[in-house]
Structure 1
């Protein structure tokens, strides 16, 4: 899909709505990567773990915001 380098610092500066949109995009990409891996068509194996970790970073930021009331 796209090759976004998403760091935790970048996520802090984004709105909650933007984070939800990004998470939805990465989850869709992760779903597609899982299918490619199952079918043996996955060529960029590092992308799989990158997307998984990015979803976790976004979820962490959203959890922090929900606990602090932002």
Structure 2
């Protein structure tokens, strides 16, 4: 019985690179937000937004890597 799929070389796509770049700098963004002179509530909201964006980017990257083509 012949194999249905042949092994292909994996190339890094521009989409994957586009997602990895912001993920690497999210901790720096959180440190910057922590040093801002604003109220604690605003800092918490900004940190939550940054963390939420990071989670969404990681999920998008995971979905992109695991999707069947």
TM-score computed with the length of structure 2 as normaliser: 0.57
Structure 1 residues 1-70: aligned runs within 5 Å: 15-33=15-33, 36=35, 43=39, 44-45=42-43, 46-68=45-67
Larger gyration radius, structure 1 or structure 2: 2
Indicate the structure with greater helix content. Answer: 1
Q: Number of paired residues?
A: 53
Provide structure 2 residue ranges, at least 5 long, that are not aligned to the other structure: 1-13
TM-score computed with the length of structure 1 as normaliser: 0.56
- Cα deviations by residue, 1:4-60 (Å, 9 ceiling, x for unpaired): xxxxxxxxxx71101100111223212454x65xxxx66432111000100000000
Quick one: distance in 1 between partners of 2:61 and 2:22?
12
Provide structure 1 residue ranges, at least 5 long, that are not aligned to the other structure: 1-13
The structure with higher relative contact order (CA 8 Å, sep 6+) is: 1
Q: CA RMSD in A?
A: 2.7
